[in-house]
Amino acid sequence: MTNDPQECARCGAEIPAERIEALPDTRVCIRCSQEMGGEFDVYAVPERTSKDGSLKKNYGSYSSQKVRKPIRPKE
């Protein structure tokens, strides 16, 4: 495992090691994450247990899906 400093994909600043430890898949620094309103969008995705067209609906369970927001270079 390497310990190369990771750079923010948005502003190029070095991402503190503590942040990477807490969020290993982060690509932006804390400030950019805050400016973007969070690096990820989290959706609740209903898990289908019934087939399409079935009258039986099942709203029982949801799973969450984390989608990385597009990272635009800071202007």
Which residues of the shown chain bind Zn ion in the complex (CB under 5 A)?
A: 8, 10-11, 13, 29, 32
- Per DSSP, 7 falls in state E
Give me 12's structure tokens. 């190029």
C-beta of 48 vs 72, nearer to Zn ion: 72
Q: State the Cα–Cα distance between residues 58 and 9, nearest whole angstrom.
A: 40
Contact 66, 38 (CB under 8 A): no
CB of 51 to Zn ion, least distance (A): 45
C-beta of 14 vs 41, nearer to Zn ion: 14
CB of 9 to Zn ion, least distance (A): 8
